């Protein structure tokens, strides 16, 4: 089993996800959103499953500093913004083949383990 985790080292939930999979000896490919943004294609997978609101972190400092609080954009426009500004994503975004989760979702991850 291999998982891909999108997040930041500063995020407590991202660190919990990394620890969860490491403790279970699962191979993890970590994408640090501070150094490399998720591709539009990756983000589209999460949006198709959960919707744009589920992956937006409206409480993040970056979201507030960009003044996006009152913004009402199309899904396509949000994907463009998220590709450029990955720090407004709710993290971690975790992918196990076609299985996806957003945020700290330990119960979901346990289901993946079997």
| Tokens (6 digits) for 2 | 């291999």
Rounded distance between C-alpha atoms, residue 11 and residue 22, angstroms: 17
Q: What is the pLDDT of residues 47-102, one digit of tens each?
A: 999 999 999 999 999 999 999 988 889 999 999 999 999 999 999 999 999 999 99
* pTM of structure: 0.94
pLDDT band at 26 (very low <50, low <70, confident <90, very high): very high
Buried b (16+ CB within 10 A) or exposed e, 55-70: bbbeebeebeeeebee
The answer to whether 109 and 28 are in contact (CB under 8 A) is no
pLDDT band at 25 (very low <50, low <70, confident <90, very high): very high
Question: Which positions ≥6 away from 68 have C-beta within 8 Å?
Answer: 58, 81, 88
The answer to whether 8 and 37 are in contact (CB under 8 A) is no
DSSP 3-state assignment of 14?
A: helix
- Class of 2-113 per CATH? alpha beta
């Amino acid at each position: 089993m291999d998982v891909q985790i999108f997040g930041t080292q500063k995020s407590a939930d991202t660190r919990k996800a990394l620890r969860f999979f490491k403790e279970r000896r699962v191979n993890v490919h970590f994408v640090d959103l501070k150094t490399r943004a998720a591709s539009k294609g990756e983000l589209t997978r999460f949006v198709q499953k959960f919707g744009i609101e589920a992956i937006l972190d409206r409480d993040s400092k970056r979201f507030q500093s960009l003044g996006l609080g009152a913004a009402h954009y199309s899904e396509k426009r949000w994907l463009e913004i998220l590709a450029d500004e990955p720090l407004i994503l709710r993290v971690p975004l975790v992918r196990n083949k076609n299985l996806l989760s957003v945020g700290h979702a330990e119960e979901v991850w346990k289901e993946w383990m079997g």
